[in-house]
Structure 1
Amino acid sequence: MSREVVKIGDKAPDFELQRLDGGFFRLYELLKEKNVVLYFYPKDSTADCTRQACEFRDHYDLFKELQAEVVCISSDKPDSHKRFERVYRLPFTLLSDTDAQIRNLYGVPRRFGIVPGRAIYVIDKTGNVQYVFNSLSKPAEHVQKVLDVLFDLNHETVANFA
């Protein structure tokens, strides 16, 4: 069951998925501490998905400095994620959404009706969506834009306390 596409300004739908270590990840638990970069991607170890994951990996220290955590979701099974994580030394959370329940919750479209889409959501600590990017092409291109959005979010927070 697909819902409306989640847009900028929307409250991010909360969800829970099992982590690779067997524990459970819950979005709103993480949002108590950090902003979240939630990205959906089609498939582990494919050229574009690997390029995107490595771009996030290569900038991961900046994400941490900007008080954000990267969380990646695809329909791949946990064993595939474990290999992907190990081979490319991915320091962030990979989650399996094998039945596309979370993808549908966010309204991430499929290309040609079958290929899982690629979408990025920047969610602030209050659970509000601050940025959305939705495209299967140019997967690494928007990491800098996501960093810019997080930089602006952090400076707004600092300004509000000044």
Structure 2
Amino acid sequence: MALKVGDTVPHFSGIDSNGNAFDTQDYFGKKWLVVYFYPKDDTPGCTTQACSFRDAYQDFTDLGAEVIGVSSDGVTSHVKFQSKFQLPFILLADTKKTIRRLFGVPNDLLGFVEGRATYVIGLDQKVHYIFDSISGSGHMERALAFLKKKV
């Protein structure tokens, strides 16, 4: 069942691109979270999406938000992707698609490609905004515009 606006986001954890443990308990109640799901590291649409978040990262942090990218690629792939494009935010390796299922992000393109969706999660641990689009563009802009109105 997919998370909807107003739903409480369950606790989740994972491994980041540095091989470190990530736990939402370190963020819930302290920072807004912008969690974006994407299909694959270093592909055209995913690179566009990641670089747009990179270029606006300071805007997000200035608003008290942390950006987290999630895909089913492993840590090694994330390290290369993060290094190649100088991504300053957290990338989580969701190799078993546990986090993707927790959020209920569906597959796109007849079920062959992992879906792309962005969630803005408030200090109250609730989903405040969702943007679901196969396109790699628009995710950062919509999440940032929403945060600017709320914070």
Q: Structure 1 length normalisation: TM-score? A: 0.89
Work out the percentage of aligned pairs sharing the same amino acid.
43
Which amino acid is 1:150 matched to? L
Q: Alpha-carbon deviations, 1:76-101, whole Å to 9, x = none?
A: 01100000000000000001001111
Which residue, 21, 25, 29 being the options, matches 1:28?
A: 25
Distance 1:57 1:66 in 2: 15
Q: Displacement, 1:23?
A: 2.3
1:44-123 equivalent positions in 2, closer than 5 A: 44-111=41-108, 112-123=110-121
**Match for residue 149 of structure 1?**
146
**Greater shift after overlay, 105-114 or 23-32?**
23-32
**Match for residue 38 of structure 2?**
41
Q: Displacement, 1:30?
A: 1.1
Helix, strand or coil at the partner of 1:148: helix
Structure 1 unaligned runs (5+)?
A: 155-162
RMSD: 1.0
Distance 2:116 2:44 in 1: 13
Q: Displacement, 1:48?
A: 0.3
Distance 1:49 1:21 in 2: 20
Distance 2:139 2:16 in 1: 25
Q: Alpha-carbon deviations, 1:102-141, whole Å to 9, x = none?
A: 101110001222311001000001101000011112x221
Q: Structure 2 length normalisation: TM-score? A: 0.95
Contact 1:28/1:127, CA 8 A, preserved across alignment: no
Could you list the structure 1 runs, at least 4 aligned residues long, displaced by more than 4 angstroms after superposition.
Answer: none
Contact 1:39/1:72, CA 8 A, preserved across alignment: yes
Distance 1:85 1:142 in 2: 18
Number of residue pairs matched? Answer: 150
Contact 1:32/1:125, CA 8 A, preserved across alignment: yes
Distance 1:152 1:14 in 2: 26
Structure 2 unaligned runs (5+)?
A: none
**Match for residue 4 of structure 2?**
7
Helix, strand or coil at the partner of 1:147: helix
Q: Alpha-carbon deviations, 1:33-66, whole Å to 9, x = none?
A: 2100000000000000000000000001100111
Contact 2:18/2:79, CA 8 A, preserved across alignment: no
Contact 2:29/2:125, CA 8 A, preserved across alignment: no
